[in-house]
């Protein structure tokens, strides 16, 4: 009888994931919590709520520090205080996914309506055609370069989509490509920052991580702005407030992390904003063209 009881107790004394002996609620080898009971819907719901609310307090601590203390997450990361916060890339990805899921709620996110206005204007300009551009060349015209003909042919589906469907397909495809554009833009801006902060010497990854946190803040502000915009008489005030706070946030994050004077920080912030704007225009144009020819 004693042997049977020992055999029944053995599985409960071992981790169900890796089989290591248990000396508490969590496995000391793999970290999994010992929870052998069947999971009902109620149990699963309570566990999910616990995980989102207070069990992993790092999420809420990270969000608060991100919004209220510019540059502090980056400073803490490179001074070794990392365990209290979510990893930077995970934070960036979570906020990015939430933002792009809420794009239709943003005040400027109605891509379909914008493209419909463009299509209406094109049709009014040439109501005899169902295509937005005529790619046919007359016999007397000079023969275009082969690459131009190929490029024009690749643009036809996107052009017709704008006219006939209000640009729904190209708008959706562009929204999917925008996160990829940001992943290209971020290291380029970090390169610009490494040129501005060459003395004292800084590692390139420091600039990248500060930009990751600042982009996560901007995305969080856009999410809050979208939610507040659903309230009457609040959207305009919220947008103006977030714009002012965002400019101060960028300045404060650079000053806190790099520790330079106010004048130098302001000058370098202006240079970064100018570089950001120029690179964003170039990459956005390229993203739009790539989206159009691959539609």
The whole domain housing 275 covers: 71-110+168-293
22, 14 contact by CB (below 8 A): yes
pLDDT tens for each residue of 32-86: 777 766 566 666 666 665 555 554 678 888 999 999 999 999 999 999 888 889 8
Q: Is residue 34 domain-resident?
A: no
Q: Is residue 203 domain-resident?
A: yes
The DSSP result for 191-255, as a single string, is HHHHHHT-SS---HHHHHHHHHHHHHHHHHHHHHHHHHTTSTTTHHHHHHHHHHHHHHHHHHHHH
Which band of pLDDT confidence, cut at 50, 70 and 90, is reported for residue 143?
Answer: low
The C-alpha R_g of the chain, in whole angstroms, comes to: 27
What is the C-alpha to C-alpha distance for residues 57 and 69, in angstroms, rounded to an integer? Answer: 17
Q: Is residue 55 domain-resident?
A: no
pTM metric for this prediction: 0.69
Q: Is residue 5 domain-resident?
A: no
pLDDT tens for each residue of 223-271: 888 888 777 777 678 888 888 999 999 999 999 999 999 999 999 999 9
CA distance readout (Å), 201 to 64, 92, 135, 193, 263: 30, 26, 54, 12, 20
Which band of pLDDT confidence, cut at 50, 70 and 90, is reported for residue 1?
Answer: very low
Overall number of domains in the chain: 1
Q: Is residue 194 domain-resident?
A: yes
Q: Is residue 137 domain-resident?
A: no
What is the C-alpha to C-alpha distance for residues 119 and 113, in angstroms, rounded to an integer? Answer: 10
78, 89 contact by CB (below 8 A): no
Is the bond preceding 200 in cis, omega lying within 30 degrees of 0?
Answer: yes
Average pLDDT rounded to a whole number, residues 167-174: 72
Q: Is residue 78 domain-resident?
A: yes
So what's the pLDDT on residue 2?
Answer: 42
Residue 19 has pLDDT above 60, yes or no: yes
Percent of the chain exceeding pLDDT 70 equals: 68
- Tokens representing residue 200 in the block: 């004292």
Q: Is residue 20 domain-resident?
A: no
pLDDT tens for each residue of 113-124: 544 554 454 444
Which band of pLDDT confidence, cut at 50, 70 and 90, is reported for residue 21?
Answer: confident
- Tokens representing residue 275 in the block: 């570089």
So what's the pLDDT on residue 78?
Answer: 92
């Amino acid at each position: 009888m004693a042997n049977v009881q020992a055999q029944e107790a053995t599985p409960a004394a071992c981790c169900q994931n890796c089989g290591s002996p248990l000396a508490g609620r969590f496995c000391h080898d793999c970290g999994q919590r010992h929870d052998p009971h069947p999971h009902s819907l109620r149990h699963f719901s309570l566990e999910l709520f616990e995980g989102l609310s207070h069990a992993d307090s790092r999420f809420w601590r990270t969000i608060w520090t991100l919004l209220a203390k510019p540059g502090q997450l980056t400073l803490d990361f490179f001074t070794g205080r990392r365990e209290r916060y979510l990893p930077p890339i995970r934070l960036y990805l979570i906020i990015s996914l939430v933002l792009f899921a809420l794009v239709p709620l943003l005040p400027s996110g109605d891509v379909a309506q914008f493209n419909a206005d463009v299509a209406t204007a094109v049709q009014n300009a040439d109501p005899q055609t169902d295509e937005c551009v005529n790619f046919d060349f007359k016999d007397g015209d000079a023969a275009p370069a082969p690459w131009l003909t190929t490029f024009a042919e690749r643009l036809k589906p996107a052009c017709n989509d704008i006219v006939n469907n209000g640009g729904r397909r190209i708008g959706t495809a562009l929204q999917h490509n925008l996160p990829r554009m940001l992943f290209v833009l971020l290291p380029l801006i970090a390169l610009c920052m490494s040129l501005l902060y060459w003395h004292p010497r800084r590692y390139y990854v420091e600039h990248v991580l500060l930009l990751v946190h600042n982009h996560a803040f901007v995305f969080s502000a856009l999410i809050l702005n979208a939610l507040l915009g659903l309230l009457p008489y609040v959207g305009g005030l919220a947008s103006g407030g977030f714009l002012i706070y965002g400019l101060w946030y960028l300045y404060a994050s650079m000053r806190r992390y790099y520790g330079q004077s106010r004048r130098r920080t302001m000058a370098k912030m202006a240079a970064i904003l100018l570089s950001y704007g120029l690179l964003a225009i170039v990459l956005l144009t390229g993203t739009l063209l790539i989206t159009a020819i691959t539609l």
